[in-house]
Structure 1
Amino acid sequence: MDLLQSYRDTNPEGEEEVHNSSPDLSINSSPVPAKSAAPNVDSLTVAGQVHRPIDPTQHLVSFNKYGLVQGFRNHKLGFVENANIDTFMFDEQYYTSYKFGYAVDPSENNYVGDVEGFKSNGGISVYNMPQHVQKKTKREKGEYAHADKTSFHGKEEKDYQGRSWIAPPKDAKASNDRCYTPKRLVHTWSGHTKGVSAIRFFPKHGHLLLSAGMDTKVKIWDVFNSGNCMRTYMGHSMAVLDVWFSNDGSKFLSAGYDKNIKYWDTETGQVISSFSTGKVPYVARLNPDEDKQNVLLAGMSDNKIVQWDVNTGKITQEYDQHLGAVNTITFMDNNRRFVTSSDDKSLLVWEFGIPVVTKYISEPHMHSMPSISLHPNSNWLACQSLDNQILIYNTRFQVNKKKRFGGHIVAGQAGYASQVNFSPDGRFVMSGDGEGRCWFWDWKTCKVISTLKCHRGVCIGAQWHPLQQSNVATCGWDGFIKYWD
């Protein structure tokens, strides 16, 4: 009965029960916060928390493993970002890691790799090894330290008729007797891993181009057909400074910072002979006379010009009058005389085979002349002076004050030995400069005809093609060789 009593619809007084459906306002409730689809974010504060500036005095790099960078994985091992490091420092640590097994950790003042080896070696690198360690390394290398090697990159060394790959094309001839200045880039060679010191066209035909690299290699390139590297000559242990062809192009010289001059066979890549006095050769030349192609002259760092007989390998003469390192050797007067320039800011004229100076040119206002070129008519010498001008001397070695070629920049802290050259018809003077440009002047008016932006850095070499009158090859310290038309 009690249960039935609880289900009744009326109160005891007989009145119907009224239900209030309104909410109970007596309960304490907090307001619901508003939601914004585009809230304001303090991006500067967030960025400052994630990318903290580095204090260079602590030698530590802070790392926040909960930072936003964890979400930006661009590598399977995590996040990789670019960093600036000097090329010399990178090479030092790379070769140190390869040789000793340890290297400097760039993120903090510590070493990675073989820490025990680091402690036992005293933390030395490949660039600051003690002298006794260097001598021991050379003894262990033995005869393999300067092994002469070569690699042929062409399809075949002889064609179906048995002709050598260095043979000039039979249809190669000058298309015009008049030269023109180039205006556009035709081809770029990029085989050297470091700067290029010098370039030389194959004599008379120019179908091959020889280059001396600071990567210790000498390369020869095809100019007319494929434009590929045909052969690489590896025999120097340091940068190659100069190269020079024989009259027929079958052989060439290479001089390097390793204090060696090598006489190569162009076709086979074999070293015929090697010459050294223990000093650095800055320039190497063969006597241009056909009956004296066995005579080698080299300008050395000990102020001497040394003469060898390449057949016997013996020194036959020494020319010793300069007071500084010899930079250039230029034959003139039907190869009976030659002129040399030096760091002592002088020009000396010699009779070939006689170690006595016949003409001494030195003035207080003169500067060093690291490049000299003979005019095609053999009456004038163009000398690259390190006061940003090209001076002209006649065969009596008097300065032609009416001819002065300037505007380019070769002067610097050490000066740039940018090559000066003439067009085959003698109408134009050409020179590189320290800003990567190649300048062209008119020989008669001495006015600038045009300039080409050729290289990033120094344009050190410029050669006019012997047959294609409007084509020029340039080389620079950026490692490229460029061909212009």
Structure 2
Amino acid sequence: MSFFQRSSTSTGTSLTMATEKDLANDIVIPNPAEDSISDIAFSSQRDFLFAVSSWDGKVRIWDVQNGVAQGRSQYDHAGPVLCTRWSSDGTKVASGACDNTVKLFDVASGQAQQVGNHDGPVKTLRFVNCGPTNQECLVTGSWDKTIKYWDLRQPTPISTMMMPDRVYTMDNKQQLLVVGTAEKHIAIINLNNPTTIFKATQSPLKWQTRVVACYNQGDGYAIGSVEGRCAIRYVDDEVQKKSGFSFKCHRQNSTTRAAGAQGQTIVYSVNSIAFHPIYGTFVTAGSDGSFHFWDKDHRHRLRGFPSLNASIPVVNFNRNGSVLAIALSYDWHQGHMANRPDYPNVIRLHPTTDDEVKEKRKK
């Protein structure tokens, strides 16, 4: 379905498209890493404290005080770091890397230690609450085609689960854990029974999955793919039939026209999706350098932003949704040939407004 396309009509553009003035209050952190940024995660306990993982093999912790961002801590892996997240109590930061290790950094002591490993690069991780006791553990997903659950007090995993293929992306809310792998496989896990795949399905989108993100209610998830599409999915089959859909996004109409041909549409990857922690609306960001806020329940775009002239590999909200962190870095969508030395490497902290992120009922 393409009802979101209404947002880009001549009558809707002025209402839904932001301008550079809407970015005027952003805090800009130049050179927050020495290579492309792979992930951003805010503390669960503080509004302006966040961790950044990057391809330079480091995880850095930044803090914003009085509008100024300051680097607080950093620690290293022996390879590019692909993911990072905070523990629920805000005392520790976990990370996974291409050195196949999982590390845990204690914020108070400033010490990092290896707490897990895989047989391939660790692409994604989340702190989750598992089983009847609601025990917090760390779940990690790897290109070795497994996910592993870790009790951080033990050197070996609680459980290892085979996935259909290499793990590209993973997210969780409530008791829902969704894993996206190569070949468009989607594994849905109920964390009340964390060692069993509750439902195995495939992405309805045609091309490779880049990101999955779970709804706040834990009843469904969104999928973003390399073909500039987003799918809205629900775990319950009946709800999916009624409310599931997909839509086009992160596409641009080319201004050049071949002789006798219509202008071409340039398609960009959807690299990142994040749900607002209060309102349940969501943001998508892509290789075109733009980000857009959407309302899935009323099926329309809330606000779209112009391209920031560099690809966006990841975005994330802080704990109350008052800030959206936006990474501008090369995302490898054109291979190593396009990774210029002068490519921007920036983090923008965008203060959100209700006009951008709060649902608006259709009149």
- Equivalent position of 1:481 in the other structure: 347
Q: Distance in 2 between matches of 1:339 and 1:233?
A: 29
Match of 1:276 among 117, 135, 139: 117
Q: Per chain length, whose mean CA-contact separation is higher, i.e. which structure has more relative contact order (CA < 8 Å, sep 6+)?
A: 2
1:258-337 aligned within 5 A: 258-288=99-129, 291-293=134-136, 295-322=137-164, 324-332=165-173, 334-335=174-175, 337=176
> Would the alpha carbon gap of residues 236 and 404 (structure 1) be closer, same or farther in structure 2, given more than 3 Å must change?
same
Match of 2:94 among 234, 249, 253: 253
Answer whether contact 1:221 1:229 (CA < 8 A) is retained. Answer: yes
CA RMSD of aligned residues (A): 2.9
> Would the alpha carbon gap of residues 209 and 444 (structure 1) be closer, same or farther in structure 2, given more than 3 Å must change?
same
- Equivalent position of 1:136 in the other structure: none
Answer whether contact 2:50 2:61 (CA < 8 A) is retained. Answer: yes
- Equivalent position of 2:35 in the other structure: 194
> Would the alpha carbon gap of residues 233 and 329 (structure 1) be closer, same or farther in structure 2, given more than 3 Å must change?
same
Match of 1:242 among 83, 104, 107: 83
Report deviation, 1:454: 5.7
Q: Which is greater in Rg?
A: 1
- Equivalent position of 1:348 in the other structure: 187
Q: Distance in 2 between matches of 1:379 and 1:364?
A: 18
- Does residue 404 of the first structure (1) align with residue 246 of the second (2)? yes
Percent identity at matched positions?
18
Answer whether contact 2:139 2:147 (CA < 8 A) is retained. Answer: yes
What are the Cα deviations for residues 306-342 of structure 1, in whole angstroms up to 9, with x where unaligned?
Answer: 22221111122111141x211223335x42x522110
Q: Distance in 1 between matches of 2:270 and 2:158?
A: 29
Answer whether contact 1:253 1:263 (CA < 8 A) is retained. Answer: yes
Q: Distance in 1 between matches of 2:141 and 2:148?
A: 7
Q: Distance in 2 between matches of 1:216 and 1:456?
A: 25
Q: Secondary structure at the match of 1:327?
A: strand
Task: Give the letter for the 1:374 counterpart.
Answer: C
**Further displaced range: 204-213 or 256-265:** 204-213
- Equivalent position of 2:202 in the other structure: 362
What are the Cα deviations for residues 46-78 of structure 1, in whole angstroms up to 9, with x where unaligned?
Answer: xxxxxxxxxxxxxxxxxxxxxxxxxxxxxxxxx
Q: Distance in 1 between matches of 2:194 and 2:40?
A: 30
Q: What is the TM-score when the length of structure 2 is the normalising length?
A: 0.73
Answer whether contact 1:393 1:399 (CA < 8 A) is retained. Answer: no
> Would the alpha carbon gap of residues 427 and 226 (structure 1) be closer, same or farther in structure 2, given more than 3 Å must change?
closer
Task: Give the letter for the 1:474 counterpart.
Answer: I
Q: Distance in 2 between matches of 1:193 and 1:479?
A: 8
Q: Distance in 2 between matches of 1:235 and 1:252?
A: 12
1:71-150 aligned within 5 A: none
- Does residue 426 of the first structure (1) align with residue 298 of the second (2)? no
Q: Distance in 2 between matches of 1:425 and 1:254?
A: 26
Report deviation, 1:271: 1.2
Report deviation, 1:363: 6.5
Report deviation, 1:254: 0.8
- Equivalent position of 2:291 in the other structure: 438
Q: Distance in 1 between matches of 2:56 and 2:194?
A: 37
Answer whether contact 1:222 1:228 (CA < 8 A) is retained. Answer: yes
**Further displaced range: 425-434 or 392-401:** 392-401
Q: Distance in 2 between matches of 1:430 and 1:364?
A: 20
Task: Give the letter for the 2:126 counterpart.
Answer: R
Report deviation, 1:288: 3.6
Q: Distance in 1 between matches of 2:65 and 2:245?
A: 36
Q: Secondary structure at the match of 1:418?
A: strand
- Equivalent position of 1:395 in the other structure: 235
- Equivalent position of 2:341 in the other structure: none
- Equivalent position of 1:375 in the other structure: 215
- Equivalent position of 2:44 in the other structure: 203
Q: Secondary structure at the match of 1:183?
A: helix
Report deviation, 1:466: 2.9
Q: Structure 1: any 5+ residue segments left out of the alignment?
A: 1-180
Q: Distance in 2 between matches of 1:302 and 1:416?
A: 24
- Does residue 467 of the first structure (1) align with residue 320 of the second (2)? yes
More strand by share: 2
Answer whether contact 1:377 1:426 (CA < 8 A) is retained. Answer: no
Q: Structure 2: any 5+ residue segments left out of the alignment?
A: 1-17, 253-267, 330-343, 352-363
Q: Distance in 2 between matches of 1:363 and 1:422?
A: 19
What are the Cα deviations for residues 84-106 of structure 1, in whole angstroms up to 9, with x where unaligned?
Answer: xxxxxxxxxxxxxxxxxxxxxxx
> Would the alpha carbon gap of residues 428 and 364 (structure 1) be closer, same or farther in structure 2, given more than 3 Å must change?
closer
**Further displaced range: 426-435 or 310-319:** 426-435
Task: Give the letter for the 1:475 counterpart.
Answer: A
Aligned residues: 298
Q: What is the TM-score when the length of structure 1 is the normalising length?
A: 0.56
Q: Distance in 2 between matches of 1:423 and 1:394?
A: 18
